[in-house]
Each structure stands twice: as C-alpha cells, then as structure tokens.
Amino acid sequence: MDLSPDLPASERAPTDIAARLQWLLRLRWVVIPIFVASDVATDLLVGRRAWSGLVAGGALVALNGASALLLARAWGPAALLRWARIESALVVALPASLTLLHGDPSSPLRYAALVGVVGAAVVLPRAIEVALVAAWACAALVLGDLGALGPSAFAPASVARWAVEAGVVATVAFISAYLHALRERAEHGLRCALAGSERARREWETTFDSLEELVVVTDARGAIVRANAAFAAAAGARPRELRGRLLEEALAGHPERWWSALGDGLVEIEDPRLDSTFEVAVRRLEDGVVRVARDVGEGRRLHARLVHADKLAALGVLASGVAHEINNPTASLSGNLGELRRYLHAYESAFSELTAIAMEAGRADRVSALLGRREVAFARKEAQPALTDCLAGAERIRQVVTNLRSLTRRDQAGEPTQLVDLAEVVEAVAKAAASDLRAAQARVEVRDRVAVTGHRGELVEVVLNLVVNAIQARDGERPNLIEVELRREGDAALVRVADTGKGIPPAHMKRLFEPFFTTKPPGEGTGLGLSLARSIVAAHGGSIDVESEPGAGSTFTVRLPAADAEARAAGVPRAAPAPLRPTRLSRT
C-alpha cells in the first residue's frame, strides 16, 4: 500500500533552501543600511566626504541586492549561492585594491564595495563561511590602509575607523551565524520529523500489506486511491499500478457488487473468478469509500468438510455395528445356499432317475404331463440360476462386510508385524487377476524385490483394490493398458498401478479416498476400496498418491518404508506366501 503523503518533492526535501534564502535576503535590507549608516557616521566623525560615500555605497548596495534578487528568481537558490560566494571572495580583493588605487583609505568606493560584499556574504549557507568572509573583510581594510598610507595608517583616526568597521562586520557575522545555527537546528528537527514520519509510513505500509484482507480505498469517482498487496494480488496487478484506475476497471470480469455497493455495511460477494466468497465491509468516507474484504470461502469449505467428516465418522460407527450384526447371518446364509445347491443337484439327479423309471414302466405320458406343468418347468429352469445369483449376492455381502469391518477394526488389529515380500504380494495379485490383466495386455514388472514390515493380508488388499480399479477403469472404445510395477526408491518401496482407462475428473479427485464414494453403478462399487487402502498404507507408515487425466488414464503410487537391515537382523518373522482365490477379483 502506498501511504506516502501527497506533497510535491520540494516540500518533502529536508532542506528548504529557497525559503531560507528569501528570508536572509530580506534581512540584508536591514543589516546593510545599518552598516552603511555606521560607516557614514565614521566618515562624519573623521570629517571626510561623507555624503558622496553614502550615495555611492547606497547605489552599490541597491545594485547588489537587485542582482541577487534577479539571480534568485531567474536561476533559483543555487545560482544565488554561487553568486554570493563570488561576491564574498571580492571582499578580500576589492576594498584593498580600491584603497591602494586611490591611495586614500576614506574613498567612498572602498566602503560601498565592502558593504555590498559583506551583505552578500550574509546569504552564505554556512556560519563558518560568513565568519571567514567577515574576518577577511576586516583584514583587507587594514591591509589596504597599510598599503596606501604606510606606517602612518596607525594614526588614531584610522584605528578608530578599523574598530568601527570591524565591529559592524563582526555584528553582521554574529547575527548571520546565529540565524544559521537556528536554521540548522530547525532543519535537523525537520529531518528527524520526516525520518519519523517515513518510518511510520513504512510501518503502516508493511502492516497493510501483511493483512490477509483485501483493502482498497476509492475516491468519490470510484478511482483507486490506495490498495494493499492482497487486493492488488487479487486484481492481478501491483499496488502502485492500481492508483488512479477505476475500481470497476481494475476488477473487470468480477461481480459488479465489488464496486456497486456504496453504502455503509457488510456485503457478501461470491466471486467465481477468485473461486471464493468474500465478506466486504464497506465504509463511506467524506470523499470516498473504504472496502475491506475477508475471504470466508475457505473457512466455510473447511466447516462443510468437518461436518461431512463428522457424518462419515458417525456413519462408520453405524456401519461397523451393522457389519458386525450382518456377518454371522451372512456366513450362515452363504453356507446354507451352498448346501441348497448341493441338495438341488441331488434332487435333480433323483428326478432324472425317477423319470427314467416311469418311462420304463410305460408311464411316459404321465411323466411328460407332469414335467410339462408350467410351475414345474419354471422351477426346474430357474432354480439353478436363482441359487447362483443368491450365492453371488451373499458373496458380495460378505465382501462389503469384510471391508467395512477392516475399515473400523484396523487400529485394534494388534497382530504382530511380519517381513512381507512385496514382490510376492504383487505376483499373488497378478496371478489372481490373471485373466483380466491378460485382457488388458497388462505389464507386471518387479524391478526390485523389496520387503516391508507389516501385514501381508492387508498389503494384498491394497494392491488388489488398485488393480481391480484399474481393470474397471476401461473406457469402452479405447484399449485399457495396465502396468503394475514394484521398485525401490531410496528407503522406500514403490508400487505403481497405472491404467489408460477413463481417468478421474478433477472434481472427484478430492473425494476419492472418502468412504462410500463411488461412481460405479449399484452392484459394482461400494466406495470402500480406496479408503481402506489408504488407512492400511497410513498404518504401515506410507502414503498413496494419485495422478489422473480424464480420458487418458490414472496412476496410483503406493510408497511404503522399506524394511531396513535392522528388522531383518532382529529376526522379524517372514510372512508366508499364500495364493489368492481368483474370485477375490470380484471385490465389489
């Protein structure tokens, strides 16, 4: 934010030379007549050509003053100072040469020249310069007299003149020195005040620029007077560039309420370009408006996420309770359905035998009438598929229940960890999913055999979930090429599962790992796979990353800390390899 006072540069400069010189020039019109008058009085005292001295002295003083004023007006204070310095140099040369030329110490020209140059010396900027000029003036008078008169210059009348002249010169020098001291003190005070105000300006500027709120001050026309860094960043400019621009113009493309709200109060603005919601406090000034905007979008999103997470947690507790309750009946349902299928087989073969016996006994007509009955024919045709469907449904319920229970039971697993060979895990999953992977021309590559410390079953679950997702990501028209790769990277084991399937839309990316988030049709997805995978990987001290481009495919990378030599040396038991049932692939 630019808070510098709106003053012209000359007024902000610590040394105001122009004003000071004007003041001293005015003073000269007081000091110089006194000087002339005293000089004339000296002449009168010694009885020599007083009036002609007065006239000549007055004329030179007027000439000098006028030239100084003209110089100051035409070329400014710097030229005047230069002129004053030249004049002061003449103090030494002029009176002494005049006295010598005339051979007469009482020549009016000598006094006139002296008066003029001493007066000019008053405007010199430093007290020491004025003192030097004064001293040289006195010395020049004495030297001139000595040159013109020789030893007779020490006559009482000459000495009296020197005394009066030196007194006047000293008075001028003293007054001038006093004024210069005053000025220097004032200048110092001014410099300190300006430095203080500059420091305060910088403090305020830094404070305003550190504010997260967007602050903008506009004038009565709606033009920006000041804006802080946050506002400038939102408007895509630098604070100084915004000065003088209309707010409407600086925020072109943003909602109109940014500039149309003019009354005191609080306005809520949904800004799609800044992808957030702002609460803008509008305050009217005498000739403008201050707007302070707070980004409340992120806070609200966070709150919504918290509420959502709360709901999910409650749902998780509920789900695990339900899963627990469903588990036993489901197991017995699956078991009984399996048995039923066996019974059906037995009935069917008995039925076939009975039919054969009936036909042998010549009762074929009764048998075919019986078999031809609609409900019997229907029952024989539908019983097997219905049972198969029931078994598939029961298996699915079992999977969902297992996933749900793994989700909530993970923390209390408490089973001892083992050294798990990830290569064996990847190979087991690849074998289980062999037919689907073959169809997807999958490339399974174990570059390094890396072991991790953990639970084999859970790690199999993670890789399997990713592989099943990759298989299910196929996109009708395009080939879905899958790559499963295991390698070591530093201290980590990396399992990468990539596909060229339909990809994941950006809006879904944030929600992928939420329990129950699924885009698959009912019966195909439960939305628990990734959430389970993430909680397992996190419990193993690892992480899952995902990169995806809609229409191009997705890559999931699991990073797990590789088991170090210490774990091997400590004799952590190795997990035994166990083949997976291919049916596991129908995870969902």
**What residues make contact with ligand ADP under the rule CB under 6 A?**
465, 469-470, 473, 499, 501-502, 504, 512, 517-520, 525-531, 554, 588
Closer residue to ligand ADP in complex, CB, 205/499: 499
Helix (H, G, I), strand (E, B) or coil at 564: coil
In whole angstroms, the minimum distance from the beta carbon of 559 to ligand ADP comes to 17
Closer residue to ligand ADP in complex, CB, 461/499: 499
Pairing of β 482-489 and β 443-446: parallel
Closer residue to ligand ADP in complex, CB, 293/498: 498
In whole angstroms, the minimum distance from the beta carbon of 528 to ligand ADP comes to 6
In whole angstroms, the minimum distance from the beta carbon of 525 to ligand ADP comes to 3
Closer residue to ligand ADP in complex, CB, 174/517: 517
In whole angstroms, the minimum distance from the beta carbon of 221 to ligand ADP comes to 53
**How is residue 455 written in tokens?**
């639970």
Closer residue to ligand ADP in complex, CB, 243/478: 478
In whole angstroms, the minimum distance from the beta carbon of 553 to ligand ADP comes to 7
Closer residue to ligand ADP in complex, CB, 477/566: 477
Segment holding 443, helix H or strand E: strand 443-446
In whole angstroms, the minimum distance from the beta carbon of 519 to ligand ADP comes to 3
Q: Report the alpha-carbon distance of residue 235 to residue 251 in Å, rounded.
A: 6
Q: Report the alpha-carbon distance of residue 90 to residue 144 in Å, rounded.
A: 13
**How is residue 163 written in tokens?**
């005394």
Q: Report the alpha-carbon distance of residue 270 to residue 255 in Å, rounded.
A: 8
In whole angstroms, the minimum distance from the beta carbon of 497 to ligand ADP comes to 7
Q: Report the alpha-carbon distance of residue 187 to residue 199 in Å, rounded.
A: 18
Specify the amino acid at residue 417.
T
Cβ distance 284 to 303 under 8 Å?
no
Closer residue to ligand ADP in complex, CB, 169/530: 530
Closer residue to ligand ADP in complex, CB, 145/483: 483
Among residues 448, 457, 449, 485, the alpha carbon closest in space to that of 470 is found at: 485
In whole angstroms, the minimum distance from the beta carbon of 538 to ligand ADP comes to 15
Closer residue to ligand ADP in complex, CB, 68/497: 497
In whole angstroms, the minimum distance from the beta carbon of 469 to ligand ADP comes to 3
Q: How far is residue 82 from each of residues 16, 123, 252, measured CA to CA in Å?
A: 17, 10, 55
Segment holding 402, helix H or strand E: helix 374-409
The residue written with tokens 């049972």 in the block is 387
Phi-psi map region of 362: left, alpha, beta (phi>0 left; psi -120 to 50 alpha): left
**How is residue 118 written in tokens?**
């001493």
The closest residue (CB) to ligand ADP is 529
Q: Report the alpha-carbon distance of residue 525 to residue 517 in Å, rounded.
A: 9
Segment holding 347, helix H or strand E: helix 297-360
